[in-house]
Amino acid sequence: MWTKVRHLNHSQKQRITNNLFVAVAGGAVLTVAGPTLLPCPAYDQNDRSAFLEEKKKQAANKRVVIVKKKTKKQQQIEEEKEE
């Protein structure tokens, strides 16, 4: 069945190796650059701006309470007053 196997000469091996390298390198570059070149169709720019605007409105409506933590010295003074 496999009586006549054709072996590749040096130039053919080199050409196959170079083609494979270029294909893998090109695929890697496209994989990394793809999201930058092609925006995600599931997240339209108008939807994004509307989402960010809604988030800003929600942040503006929230009331923020800042609680200052007492130092150890202040805690000691309060404990002495309670005694």
Across all residues in the chain, what is the average pLDDT?
83
pLDDT in tens, 36-58: 877 766 666 667 787 888 888 87
Span of 15-19, 21-25, 34-38 with lowest mean pLDDT: 34-38
Whether pLDDT at 69 is above 60: yes
CA dist 81 and 79 (Å) reads 5
Whether pLDDT at 2 is above 80: no
CA dist 33 and 23 (Å) reads 15
The residue ranges of DSSP E strands in 12-81, in sequence order, are none
Whether pLDDT at 31 is above 60: yes
